[in-house]
Amino acid sequence: MIDELPTLEAEALAAVAASSMIDDLKAVESSVLGRQAPLSLAKKEIASLPAERRKDAGLALNETRRRVGEAIDARREELAGGERSAQLAGERLDLTEVPDHVDVGHAHVVTRTWEALEDTFVGMGFRIAEGPEVETDWHNFDALNIPPGHPARDAFDTIYVNHGTPGSALLRTHTSPVQIRTMLEQDPPIYIVAPGRVFRRDTADATHMPVFHQIEGLVVDREISLADLAGTIEAFTEAYFGPGFHSRLRPNYFPFTEPSAEFDIQRPDGSWLELGGCGMVHPNVLRAGGIDPEEWSAFAFGFGIDRLAQMKFGIDDLRDMFSNDVRILTQF
Ligand code: DAH
């Protein structure tokens, strides 16, 4: 066999070149370099050669085996590259195909109304503030001049949370506690609106939901007057509802403001819509927020978001807005 090394090498290299897959190549490798391969059996033959030939024969065999080994490695890399490209080609997705109809969703009507309100107030120079939905009774009531036993507490059908001292944690019944949190967090002047989710122990019907949305406004600055409040409500009315809409204040009572008012919007056809409450922030509320009422004065307002969405999109029953039935929601 030693005399046939060139032939054995040529055959081995031809077999390597002919293998077309990695698995074939493995079989070729064991048939040309494995224990039973001629190029392996040849090693034994060397021992039986005359001493003067052994060295050259050994070198020649090793060189042959090395070249065959290199050819196998090179072929393996070639095949691996090819198989990878074939796999990639097979997994390729045709993304040029465009379906003829795509259902694209949109934001919920309440979200759209909420965002439009934010945009209007931001355009007027207000910043957005936030507070937690689970509140302390102090932020929701006491700090807003509604001490324990105050009849106004009963007017809010409060949902209490089982946390800490009974009655000390609740789901906020209005966004007004954000007034307190904002005053405690930042120094005046303050110009904020706080949209948010609020909760009351109410049975759902066409005009009430136990979970609904409000937006709160608070302005704290030097020499803020009722005229500033009325002017701000009027500017908001025209900016949000459009030209031809106006506003008016009617005396009312809220514990956290003095004087307090209800504000209405007049539509271009002359009809009135009751929107929300407002007033000059009560000195007790400013003090609870860490603000000196001798130095600063403030007004606040608050109103519901859901009814605005309902009106804007012509939805008769409030429950339809929250049923999350896409057949209804996609109509708006
Ligand atoms: N928090 C009141 C409510 O939920 C609404 C309100 C009235 C907010 C007067 C105010 C305000 O900021 O000044 O009924």
Residue 139 pLDDT > 90: yes
Whole-number Å distance, alpha carbon 277 to ligand 1 midpoint, is: 5
Could you give the count of Cα atoms lying within 13 Å of 81 in the half-sphere of its Cβ?
A: 6
Pairing of strands 134-136, 190-199: unpaired
The pLDDT of residue 112 = 97
Measured distance CA(179)–CA(123) in Å, rounded? 20
Whether 15 and 113 share a structural domain: no
Domain residues for the domain of 294 are 109-329
Higher-scoring residue by pLDDT: 70, 124: 124
Residue 102 lies in a domain: no
- What band does 301 get if pLDDT is binned at 50, 70 and 90? very high
Tell me how far apart the alpha carbons of residues 212 and 319 are, in angstroms, rounded to a whole number: 11
Residue 220 and residue 285 in one domain:
yes
Residue 46 forms part of a structural domain: yes
298 lines ligand 1 (CB under 6 A): no
Confidence band (pLDDT; 50, 70, 90) for 308? very high
- Pocket lining: 241 vs ligand 1, CB cutoff 6 Å: no
In whole numbers, what is the pLDDT of the chain averaged over residues?
A: 92
Mean pLDDT of 136-152: 94
Q: Which of 84-88, 194-198, 239-243, 276-280 has the lowest mean pLDDT?
A: 84-88
For residue 97, is pLDDT > 80? no
Query: Distance between CA 174 and CA 146 in Å, rounded?
Result: 13
Backbone φ, ψ for residue 278 (5° rounding): -165, 175
In a domain, 223, yes or no: yes
- Strand stretches in the chain, DSSP E: 127-128, 134-136, 169-171, 190-199, 211-221, 246-254, 257-266, 272-281, 297-304
- Residue 182 CB–ligand 1 contact under 6 Å: no
Candidate ranges 80-84, 225-229, 317-321; pick with highest mean pLDDT? 225-229
pLDDT of residue 164: 93
Domain presence at residue 99: no
CA of 223 to the centre of ligand 1 (A): 22
Cα separation of 39 and 37, whole Å?
5
Given the CA of residue 198, which atom of ligand 1 is nearest to it?
A: 4
With cut-offs at 50, 70 and 90, classify the pLDDT of residue 37.
confident
Ligand 1 pocket test, pick from 192, 199, 233, 278 with the greatest ligand atom count within 8 Å of Cβ, gives 278
Q: Which of 193, 256, 260, 305 to mutate to test the pocket of ligand 1 (most atoms within 8 A of CB)?
A: 256
Check pocket membership of 301 for ligand 1, CB cut-off 6 A. Answer: yes
Same domain, 140 and 47: no
Greater model confidence, 10 or 123 = 123
User: Both 210 and 63 in a single domain?
Assistant: no
**Quick one: pLDDT band at residue 94, thresholds 50, 70, 90?**
confident
Give yes or no for residue 64 CB within 6 A of ligand 1.
Answer: no
- Residue 185 is predicted with a pLDDT of 98
323 Cα–ligand 1 center, Å? 27
Cβ(228)–Cβ(299) below 8 Å: yes
140 in ligand 1 pocket by Cβ < 6 Å? no
Q: How would you label 12-48 residue by residue, b for 16+ Cβ within 10 Å and e otherwise?
A: bbebbeebeeeeebeebbeebeeeebbbeebeeebee
pLDDT digits (tens, 9 = 90+) for 165-178: 998 999 999 999 99
CA of 197 to the centre of ligand 1 (A): 14
CA dihedral 154, 158, 163, 167 (to 10 degrees): 0
Examine the domain organization and report whether 260 and 225 are in the same domain: yes
Number of domains within the chain: 2
For residues 114 and 185, membership in a common domain is answered with yes
> What is the reported pLDDT for 70?
87
Residues 86 and 114 grouped into a single domain: no
For residue 183, the domain's CATH number is 3.30.930.10
Residue 55 pLDDT level (bands cut at 50, 70, 90): confident
What pLDDT band is residue 189 in, cutting at 50, 70 and 90? very high
Report the pLDDT value the prediction gives residue 1, as an integer from 0 to 100: 72
Question: Percent of the chain beyond pLDDT 90?
Answer: 62
Which residue's CA is minimally distant from atom 13 of ligand 1? Answer: 278
Q: Across residues 222-234, what is the average pLDDT? A: 98
Residue 102: per-residue pLDDT = 82
- CA-nearest residue for atom 7, ligand 1, is 277
Least confident of 42-51, 196-205, 284-293: 42-51
> Where does the pLDDT of residue 302 fall: very low under 50, low under 70, confident under 90, or very high at 90 and above?
very high
What band does 253 get if pLDDT is binned at 50, 70 and 90? Answer: very high
Compute the distance from residue 3 Cα to the ligand 1 centre, in Å: 106
pTM over the 0.85 mark: no
Mean per-residue pLDDT for 187-202? 97
Exposure string over 171-205, b if 16+ CB within 10 A, otherwise e? bbbbbbbbbbbbbeeeebebbbbbbbebbbeeeee
Same domain, yes or no: 181 and 324: yes
d(CA 256, ligand 1 centre) in Å: 8
Ligand 1 neighbour 199 (Cβ under 6 A): no
Among the candidates 61, 91, 121, a domain finishes at: 91
Are residues 85 and 138 both part of a single domain?
A: no
Same-domain check for residues 255 and 317: yes
Q: Do 25 and 154 belong to one domain?
A: no
What average pLDDT does range 41-49 have in this prediction?
Answer: 81
